[in-house]
Structure 1
Amino acid sequence: MLPDSAGGRAVSTVLDVAVCLLFVTAAVGVLATVDRPTPDDSDTADRAASLLGTTTTTVHYAATGPDGGSGGRAAVACRVDGGSRPDDCRTAHGTVADLLAHAAVADVTAAAEGSGFERGVRNATHQRLAGIRSSWQVVVTWRAYPDAPLAGRLVVGDGPPPGVDVHTATLQVPVAGNGATEATGADEPRTVDAVARQAASTMITRLFPPEPTRLALVGEASADQRTASHYRRTAAALGVGLDGAVADGSVRRANSILTDALATRYARDLETRTDDPTAAAALVSVETATVTVRTWSA
């Protein structure tokens, strides 16, 4: 038989443990029933835009058929890692935002619509934003100025439902290409027509860079057909004919025809907005595509 003091200590220890367990249980119960605060997603759009602008990726895609679409078999083969790839497979590398801008530019001539490249860019966007806790949509546009004729646009993701708070962040992504890089040239613009012509020349050069386009026209039959199809679509959008320039493989002449037609459209439109060449130049930007990220609570 234990002494009274030992028995007292044993009983006390048991009571201490029991009381401790009660407190722990009560605390757990309190923590479990506390209402969690609604997460603030006001910074989610900024974070998503940052991810698109800083994360690089590689897109492998097939470019078969005259319209730049890809057959299912070719598209699958281009996604196989390692080993040789079919000659018709292409690779694009850059930040996700860069590739989105590229797809928006291609959309001007319908070169990206339904293509393997567009699908690859859409998939890359979904993969990059998979960890975003909010619902999102990405809208990419490339145009000389708001509501300008001849523009490219790409949308990834469904739009927000009505009545929700939407947060927005934008990126201005440089559009790579050759040729002129300023809508007004090195000097101050002298006329609105000069602003319009420089902007038109830059856009057409972005769409049909002379040397790569010439090589495509005289190269393999499928590339020839795709490039000719893109020319025809652009000419139809501007209401002009290319007068055999494409058939002759004359990129310089085809681009000149398109530039003249687009410059006329730009000048007519800009003159309804301002008669000041400097103000007109400030309206025009064909050097960047705008990537807009929209987020909202699911």
Structure 2
Amino acid sequence: MTNEHCDDRAVSTVLDVAVCLLFVTAAVGVLATVERPAPDESDTADRAASLLGTTTATVHYATTGPSSTGGSAAAVACRPADGSRPDDCRTAHGTVAGLLARAAVADVAATESAGRSPFERGVRNATRQRLAGIRSSWQVVVTWRAYPDAPLTGRVVVGDGPPPGIDVHTATLRVPVAAGAAPGATDDDEPRTVEAVARRAAAGTVARLFPPEPTWLALAGGEPHDRLTAGRYRRTAAALGVGLDGAVEDGAVRRANGRLAEALASEYGHDLRESADGPVAAASLISVETATVTVRTWSP
């Protein structure tokens, strides 16, 4: 074989390889284009729930004054340029989901006529800020109650609901609610009767609504905290149809809580006997320790 033939064959081989590589490269490009998925909105609810559960926010809110029941002046007044904080202002910090859970607990003793509290308004604003980047339309619903259809229920809603007949994606978070000292109720004790389950659930509910030490400090702290706390006690007692026999005026938090828990245990017991077959089934319905944060998203 001559050198000329060898050179021709070498050139031909190089060309074959180059053409082969060109086709392979083109094929890879086609496959990459075909296999790249289109943007999927089905997990937007999961992303929104993750943002609420993992990112933190600080909420400044007023406890008194004309703007504590309406408008945004309270939020501005609680964040002056010099960094000081008026006596009637408070600051709450935590995950957005945790703040929503606190707002749901506070809603239990709220009055419809008073509207949303400054704290709830601040939490709602923080929720909107955290979910501002979500492309889909969304709504967040937070509930806290001992069991389905319990007589005392806290609920916070951020955003409008979806229109009828549209596909909705849902994600749910269970958020711990700050514990209070519930006397006589420990996780190690297995309740043997439905009534025992009801008593434990009632004690846990009241302890989270009125944690003994912070509540006593509020009642002893003077205006406005004593008045606001006493008002929450009165509204809760009225909802349960029970009197507190001057316990709040005396600053006797445990006595007031005991009265509320006794009345609530009676209602819990009646409901649980109707809906559960025995103490184990009744205990499985109880969720005093957590609030439920439900995120719904849909394409606009």
Question: Shorter-chain TM-score: which interval?
Answer: 0.7 to 0.9
Deviations 1:134-170, CA, capped at 9 Å, x for gaps: 0000000001111111010000000001111000000
- Does residue 188 in structure 1 map to residue 183 in structure 2? no
Q: How far apart are 1:81 and its partner, in Å?
A: 4.8
The change in CA–CA distance for 1:51 and 1:153 in structure 2 (over 3 A counts) is same
Which ranges in structure 2 are unaligned for 5 or more consecutive residues? Answer: 1-36
Amino acid at match of 1:108: V
Asked whether the equivalents of residues 68 and 74 of structure 2 are also in contact (C-alpha less than 8 Å), the reply is no
Correspondence list, 1:220-231, <5 A: 220-231=222-233
* AA in 1 matched with 2:249: A
Partner amino acid, structure 2, of 1:161: P
Q: Which residue of 1 aligns with 2:58?
A: 58
Q: Structure 1 counterpart of 2:209, which letter? A: L
Cα distance, 1:67 vs. partner? 11
Are residue 86 (structure 1) and residue 82 (structure 2) matched? no
In structure 2, how many angstroms separate the alpha carbons of the residues matched to 1:187 and 1:96? 33
Shift >2 Å, 4+ stretches: 37-40, 65-75, 79-83, 180-185
1:245/1:253 contact within 8 Å kept: yes
Q: Distance in 2 between matches of 1:297 and 1:182?
A: 49
In structure 2, give the amino acid aligned to 1:145.
Y
Distance 1:200 1:231, change over 3 A: same
Question: In the alignment, what sits opposite 2:256?
Answer: 254
Distance 1:208 1:178 in 2: 8
Which among 107, 132, 138 is matched to residue 134 of structure 2? 132
Query: Within the alignment, does 1:263 sit opposite 2:265 as a pair?
Result: yes
Contact 1:238 1:261 in 2 (8 A): yes
Q: Conserved in 2, the CA contact under 8 Å of 1:169 and 1:294?
A: yes
1:28-58 deviations in whole A, cap 9, x for unaligned? xxxxxxxxx9743100000000000000111
Is the 8 Å Cα contact of residues 183 and 281 (structure 1) preserved in structure 2?
no
Deviation digits for residues 4-32 of structure 1, max 9, x if unmatched?
Answer: xxxxxxxxxxxxxxxxxxxxxxxxxxxxx
CA contact (8 A) 1:46 1:169 kept: yes
Q: Unaligned stretches of 5+ in structure 1?
A: 1-36
Any conservation in 2 of the 1:62–1:70 contact (CA below 8 Å)?
A: no
Evaluate the alpha carbon distance shift between residue 245 and residue 262 of structure 1 in structure 2; reply closer, same or farther with a 3 A threshold: same
Q: Specify the alignment match of 1:45 in structure 2.
A: 45
2:206 and 2:142 map into 1 onto residues whose CA distance is: 19
Match of 2:294 in 1: 292
Q: Tell me how far apart the structure 2 counterparts of residues 217 and 113 of structure 1 sit (CA, whole Å).
A: 23
Counterpart in the other structure of 2:120: 118
Root mean square deviation of aligned Cα: 2.2
Alignment partner, residue 101 of structure 1:
101
Does the 8 Å contact 2:175/2:291 carry over to 1?
yes
Q: Is the 8 A contact 1:183 1:285 kept in 2?
A: no
What is the match of residue 15 of structure 1?
none
The answer for the alignment partner of 2:201 in structure 1 is 199
TM-score (structure 1 length as normaliser): 0.83
The answer (yes or no) to whether the contact 1:184–1:194 under 8 Å persists in 2 is: no
After TM superposition, the score normalised by the length of structure 2 is 0.82
Percent of aligned positions with the same letter in both sequences? Answer: 74
In structure 2, the partner of 1:164 is 166
Matched letter for residue 271 of structure 2: D
Cα distance in 2 for residues equivalent to 1:247 and 1:65: 23
- The corresponding residue for 1:22 is none
